[in-house]
């Protein structure tokens, strides 16, 4: 209860309630649409990470004398509601940019309906690595995390360094799953291939069948492309069968949710691809700066995870774009400024944004859940 009150107080302080909905002349409004009901949700972690940056910038006088204000609007789980709420936020608050939008389906809906082109509004930091959003380059999307293709390549290279030859692929039965399958097969063509493949139905996943396919193939490792609940249940079923294959999930899996679902002991040994540095490490400058930002607002570090750092990184990129856009930024001017962020080093995390490529990061690391439920790299 004390922790929940602390989180609520922190969220209230960060959000600065009571501000007018529409921007004052000295404000630069940025919009976010995400699932926000759970204080520890990915959407809230992204929001709070961005606010760490915005509030620090505001304390120093803002960007060209203008304060930053983040307007966060809640959405449901479905892409249709994400589309509806994004349109409503754009109409009501007229933000200069959007940031930290979530989900391949939601982004596909925005692009299909041509919302970004019609509004001429840039989006910085999308919580998905779908290649369909990277190629061809979309003029209004600016990515601050690596693509799923980069994650897949990193995981398969890691298996190779372990001397693993027989790799299984388990993915969700969806458009995302098919994309992963396509890129994975491109990375392991011909005879290398995969010892086993299984697509899990999102509504009625058959974990026993997936585990049986892996056992029959004598697979030594599994590349897993599933959401957190399916990852947890599959991993539990695999270990319950007594199979010891290495398992590494893509970044669609959140370690906290896995541990919460099956417990620390059962989650031990699961590998998860990471698209930001470890938020708790002292070895990477951007993580140290993130930790100092938490200390400045007396935020307990244990209440933050990778998504918090991801939101922090996206906000740092956006602020630099605003600085380069000048004292009277427009949406189009901000877009042009963001395309000049080539070799923009945040401190061990380099952003490469140009007119020819909006795929800002190639950073991928692999972490393993230890016996205390912590991610070790």
Specify the CATH class of 149-274 in words: alpha beta
Higher pLDDT, 16 or 333: 333
Beta strands 123-127; 67-74: pairing state = unpaired
**Averaged over 220-228, what is the pLDDT?**
95
Residues of the chain with CATH 3.40.50.2300: 2-146+281-351, 149-274
| pLDDT at res. 12 | 47
Q: What is the pLDDT of residue 190?
A: 65
State yes or no: pLDDT of 322 exceeds 60: yes
10 Å CB burial of residue 290 (0-12, 13-18, 19+) is buried
Take residue 336 and report the two structure tokens written for it. Answer: 């042009």
Q: What is the value of pTM for the model shown?
A: 0.86
Query: In the structure encoding, which two tokens stand for residue 207, read together?
Result: 């974990």
Give the pLDDT band of residue 345 (cuts 50, 70, 90): very high
Determine which of 93-102, 190-199, 224-233, 319-328 has the lowest per-residue pLDDT on average: 190-199
Higher pLDDT, 31 or 301: 31
Angle at 166 between CA 162 and CA 169, to 5 degrees: 105
Which contiguous run of DSSP H or E holds residue 138? Answer: none
Contact present, 28 and 58 (Cβ < 8 Å): no
> What is the reported pLDDT for 191?
62
**pLDDT > 70 fraction of the chain, expressed in percent and rounded:** 93
Cβ atoms of 361 and 277 closer than 8 Å: no
Question: What residues pair up with 367 in beta bridges, in sequence order?
Answer: 272
DSSP string of 8-75?
HHHHHHHH-TT--SSPPTTEEEEEEEE--SSTTSHHHHHHHHHHHHHHHHHHTT-BTTBEEEEEEEE-
The residue-averaged pLDDT of 62-83 equals 96
**Cα–Cα distance for residue pair 187/157, rounded to 1 Å:** 9
Query: Which tokens in the block code for residue 7?
Result: 């989180």
The span from the CA of 277 to the CA of 60, in Å, is: 26
Share of the chain above pLDDT 90, in %: 80
pLDDT at 68 over 80: yes
Tally of CA atoms within 13 A in the half-sphere of 33 that contains its CB: 25
Q: How far, in Å, CA of 100 to CA of 143, rounded?
A: 10
For 133, 179, 201, the CA distances from 130, given in Å and listed in that order, are 6, 8, 20
2-146+281-351: CATH superfamily: Response regulator (3.40.50.2300)
SS3 370: coil
Tell me if residue 281 falls in helix, strand or coil. Answer: coil
Q: What is the mean pLDDT of residues 191-212?
A: 92
Residue 20 is predicted with a pLDDT of: 37
Beta partners for residue 366, in sequence order: 273
pLDDT in tens, 34-44: 999 888 888 99
pLDDT at res. 39: 83
Q: Dmax of the chain from CA atoms? A: 66
Write down the mean pLDDT value for the chain: 91
């Amino acid at each position: 209860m004390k922790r929940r009150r602390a989180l609520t107080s922190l969220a209230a302080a960060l959000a600065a309630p009571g501000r007018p909905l529409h921007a004052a002349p000295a404000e630069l409004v940025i919009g976010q649409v995400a699932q926000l009901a759970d204080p520890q949700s990915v959407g809230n972690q992204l929001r709070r990470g961005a606010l760490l940056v915005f509030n620090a910038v505001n304390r120093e006088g803002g960007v060209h004398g203008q304060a930053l204000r983040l307007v966060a609007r809640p959405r449901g789980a479905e892409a249709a509601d994400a589309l509806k709420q994004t349109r409503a936020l754009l109409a009501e608050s007229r933000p200069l940019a959007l940031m930290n939008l979530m989900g391949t389906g939601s982004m596909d809906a925005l692009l299909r309906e041509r919302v970004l082109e019609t509004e001429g509004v840039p989006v910085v930091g999308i919580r998905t690595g779908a290649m369909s959003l990277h190629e061809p380059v979309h003029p209004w999307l600016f990515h601050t995390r690596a693509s799923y293709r980069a994650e897949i390549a990193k995981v398969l290279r890691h298996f190779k360094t372990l001397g693993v030859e027989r790799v299984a692929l388990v993915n969700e039965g969806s458009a995302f799953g098919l994309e992963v399958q396509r890129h994975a097969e491109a990375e392991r063509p011909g005879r290398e291939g995969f010892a086993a493949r299984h697509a899990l139905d999102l509504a009625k996943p058959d974990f026993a069948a997936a585990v049986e396919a892996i056992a029959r193939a004598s697979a030594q490792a599994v590349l897993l492309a599933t959401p957190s609940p399916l990852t947890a249940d599959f991993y539990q079923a695999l270990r319950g069968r007594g199979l010891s294959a290495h398992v590494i999930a893509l970044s669609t899996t959140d370690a906290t949710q896995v541990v919460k679902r099956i417990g620390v002991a059962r989650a031990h040994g699961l590998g998860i691809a990471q698209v930001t540095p470890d938020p708790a490490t002292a070895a990477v400058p951007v993580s140290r700066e993130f930790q100092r930002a938490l200390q400045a607002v007396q935020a307990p570090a244990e209440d933050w995870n990778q998504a918090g750092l991801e939101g922090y990184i996206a906000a740092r990129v956006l602020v630099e774009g605003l600085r380069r856009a000048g004292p009277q930024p427009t949406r189009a001017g901000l877009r042009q400024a963001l395309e000049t962020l080539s070799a923009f080093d945040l401190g061990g995390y380099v952003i490469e944004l140009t007119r020819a490529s909006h795929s800002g990061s190639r950073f991928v690391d692999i972490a393993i859940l230890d016996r205390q439920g912590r991610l070790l790299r």
